[in-house]
Structure 1
């Protein structure tokens, strides 16, 4: 009888660095966030304003600071770490007040999904962003 090999467990380091990234985001510790990113990280994001490509941990952390650093009130509503096809999957939903870029008053929500190649640091990340939306807003209402 032939036994099939058990699926290989994801390396703990990859999941741990994903958790560290999310913890740094939750506390808005952008210096700590930069330490979870490889020094030559390739970051690609699809934002409502269009695609963005950055290289280097400092530039990537600075982008997150520009999106989230100026809020007076900030809350991570949900965050997950997982794996899809051998890549690290990171997802987070945030509510904040005020939203950046002078897009309106009141609480806003944003969700982002990232897929990363990582070992002990995140070397590449491809991310998609919902954009900032007024909390509770339903189109057509």
Structure 2
């Protein structure tokens, strides 16, 4: 039997696999998606908007690595965190490696997420250790 935590695990697994179609199956039709991104705050509604945004950020990467991911339930809310390394930057073709970290706080139930609040570091150029 699924609960909020296992729903979140399935959503995160689909995201890290960049299986955006599958990711959408874990969202209710009127999911609320709020994001605080480096350019400002944004709000969208519906699975298509969630999928469109996440796929625009991660879907076109030629190289994509999961550096870290975490998931836990916090008093009835779900916290997802992940750090990805990818290239090129999704909006700067031909660029090198970038690292991005996002924190998501989600509401939902056993079948799907009904709300996602996302905080994003932005795409940061990887600093080479010398």
Considering the TM-score relative to the shorter chain, is it more than 0.5? yes
TM-score, normalization: structure 1?
Answer: 0.85
How much has 1:76 moved relative to structure 2?
A: 1.2
Find out whether 1:106 has 2:96 as its counterpart.
yes
SS in 1 for 2:73: strand
Find out whether 1:130 has 2:106 as its counterpart.
no
RCO higher in structure (CA 8 A, sep ≥6): 2
How much has 1:59 moved relative to structure 2?
A: 1.3
How much has 1:85 moved relative to structure 2?
A: 3.2
1:55 to 45, 59, 66: 45
Q: How is 1:64-83 mapped onto 2 (pairs within 5 angstroms)?
A: 64-83=54-73
State how far apart, in whole Å, the 1-side matches of 2:53 and 2:83 are.
17
How much has 1:104 moved relative to structure 2?
A: 7.0
Higher Cα radius of gyration = 1
Change in 2 beyond 3 A, CA 1:24/1:42: same
State how far apart, in whole Å, the 2-side matches of 1:84 and 1:27 are.
25
TM-score, normalization: structure 2?
Answer: 0.92
Aligned length: 128
> Which consecutive aligned stretches of 4+ in structure 1 deviate over 6 angstroms post-superposition?
none
State how far apart, in whole Å, the 2-side matches of 1:19 and 1:113 are.
14
State how far apart, in whole Å, the 1-side matches of 2:86 and 2:104 are.
20
State how far apart, in whole Å, the 1-side matches of 2:5 and 2:127 are.
32
What is the aligned partner in structure 1 of residue 26 from structure 2? 36
CA root-mean-square deviation: 1.8
CA offsets 1:2-35 (integer angstroms, 9 cap, x no match): xxxxxxxxx9510111111111111111000111
